[in-house]
Amino acid sequence: MTQISALLRAGRTFSFEFFPPKNDEAQAVLARTIVELEPLAPSFVSVTYGAGGSTRERTRDLVVQMRHETKIPPMAHLTCVGHVHQEIEDIIAAYVEAGVENVLALAGDLPADGTDSPPSDYIFATDLVEHLRSISDMCIGVAAHPEGHPRSPDMTSDRQYLAAKLQLADFATTQFFFEAEHYVRLVNELADLGCTKPVIPGIMPVTNLSQVQRMAAMSGTEFPTWLHDDLATMKTPEEVRRVGVEAATRLCAELLEAGAPGLHFYTLNRSTATREIYAELGLPVG
Ligand code: FAD
């Protein structure tokens, strides 16, 4: 049973996100992280994809490596930007052959520097989900944005497009956020639109204040004043990490209490914060 939809039907999932390493040094860091996280027996791991195919081979290599060298089912991220139908069909055929059963279908973003990206047969993630459904039996996840997508003109249309997308998919994983109420509101508003598919909250423990502030600004995530103030008064990186992990642990506990079907950790290819949260929450291990 390695389809995430089946895992979600069986109970809560606890999962980790990695990005494909760029060089030998980053590769060594990730290899150590995987060794340290494997004993937590995550339900699945997911591997990001550089929009436009910039990490096409590296994403595939890491996904296939996880599939063959660990017991953890992998999920491959895939984006619309810069891809035509035939390329997606080739990528999916290779995953199916390797025994990979899960894909996260995303729009991706155009290059921030304004450079042209190759032509694409898809505009929205929904277009990619529809095509994936027509060519494979893979389990398909999609992205959800609890505080709305930064390009959305309003929250109402954002939720309607998300509900329609999620109805075609099997589950959603969210952008990271720092207040449980954003997740609860998202799930309730989707239910009001008739969509009750599982939505797994994405967790980003703050281990570096300026790094996460930058990422939050890019993704339209509110960085709460209380969290900023708590972190900004810390004198050492170790204290920042401790306070960030404590805040993430409280958020995880609130989300589980609110009925979240799982937790998805943005690991940034490191293991320590995730392991500490696991220990604090007493999550199932091994
Ligand atoms: P969509 O669902 O297409 O939505 C994008 C915007 O279009 C939203 O404003 C939506 O409301 C609107 N919209 C949707 N359908 C329609 C329609 N029919 N008409 C008009 N408007 C519409 N990016 C990467 O490049 N690689 C990754 O690996 C990656 N992983 C991610 C993982 C997660 C869990 C998340 C939350 C995001 C990830 N991203 C990744 C970022 C993602 O690609 C960007 O946030 C992107 O801008 C939006 O992707 P989406 O799939 O949510 O887009």
- Choice between 116 and 246, residue whose per-residue pLDDT is larger: 246
Active-site annotation holder among 17, 101, 147, 189: 17
152: helix, strand or coil: coil
- Where residue 116 falls among pLDDT bands split at 50, 70, 90? confident
Query: Is it the case that residue 286 has pLDDT exceeding 70?
Result: no
Distance CA 190, CA 162 (A): 8
Residue 218, SS3 per DSSP: helix
Q: How far is the CA of 245 from the centre of ligand 1 (A)?
A: 27
User: What residues pair up with 141 in beta bridges, in sequence order?
Assistant: 104, 171
pLDDT at 6: 98
Among 56, 109, 122, 124, residue to substitute to test ligand 1 (most atoms within 8 Å of Cβ): 124
Q: What is the pLDDT at residue 167?
A: 98
What residues contact residue 250 under an 8 Å CB cut-off, 6+ apart?
Answer: none
- Which of 149, 170, 221, 267 has the most ligand 1 atoms within 8 A of CB, as the residue to mutate? 149
Buried b vs exposed e over 48-57: b needs ≥16 C-beta within 10 Å?
Answer: bbbbbbbbbe
Top-confidence residue, 6 or 113? 6
Q: Which residues pair with 263 in a beta bridge?
A: 14
d(CA 278, CA 286): 12
Torsion of CA 17, 22, 28, 30, to 10 degrees: 0
**Sign of torsion over alpha carbons 242, 245, 249, 251:** positive
pLDDT at 118: 81
Q: How far is CA 91 from CA 60, 63, 84, in A?
A: 8, 12, 11
Q: For ligand 1, atom 48, name the residue with the nearest CA.
A: 107
Residue 242 has pLDDT above 80, yes or no: yes
pLDDT of residue 115: 74
Domain ranges of the chain: 4-281
CB-defined site of ligand 1, < 6 Å:
48-49, 51, 77, 79, 106-109, 124-126, 143, 149, 151-152, 158, 161, 165, 173-175, 202
Tell which atom from ligand 1 comes closest to the C-alpha of 124: 3
Query: Residue 123 C-alpha to ligand 1 middle, in angstroms?
Result: 10
**How far is ligand 1, taken at its centre, from the CA of residue 153, in Å?**
14
Q: How far apart are CA 194 and CA 166, in angstroms?
A: 11
- 15-47: pLDDT as tens digits: 999 999 999 999 999 999 999 999 999 999 999
Q: Does the predicted TM-score (pTM) go above 0.85?
A: yes
Model confidence at 284, in pLDDT bands (50, 70, 90)? Answer: confident
Q: What's the CA gap between 202 and 115, in Å, rounded?
A: 30
Q: How far apart are the first and last CA of the chain?
A: 17
**CB-count burial class (<10 Å; 0-12, 13-18, 19+) for 65:** middle
Q: In 3D, which of 201, 202, 135, 193 has the Cα closest to residue 165?
A: 193
Active site (annotated) includes residue 246: no
pLDDT digits (tens, 9 = 90+) for 124-135: 999 999 999 999
Q: How far is the CA of 126 from the centre of ligand 1 (A)?
A: 9
Nearest CA to ligand 1 atom 42: 108
Shortest CA distance to 6 belongs to which of 261, 188, 183? 261
Query: Does residue 140 carry a pLDDT above 80?
Result: yes
* pLDDT of 128: 98
What's the pLDDT tens digit per position in 167-220?
Answer: 999 999 999 999 999 999 999 999 999 999 999 999 999 999 999 999 999 999
**3-state SS track over 155-208:** HHHHHHHHHHHHHHCCEEEEEECCCHHHHHHHHHHHHHCCCCCCEEEEECCCCC
**Cβ–Cβ under 8 Å, residues 37 and 275:** yes
CA 80 / ligand 1 centre spacing (Å): 9
Task: Report, as an integer, the average pLDDT of 255-271.
Answer: 97
Question: Per CATH, the architecture of 4-281 is what?
Answer: Alpha-Beta Barrel (3.20)
Q: What is the pLDDT, as a whole number, of residue 1?
A: 57
The predicted model gives 242-260 an average pLDDT of 98
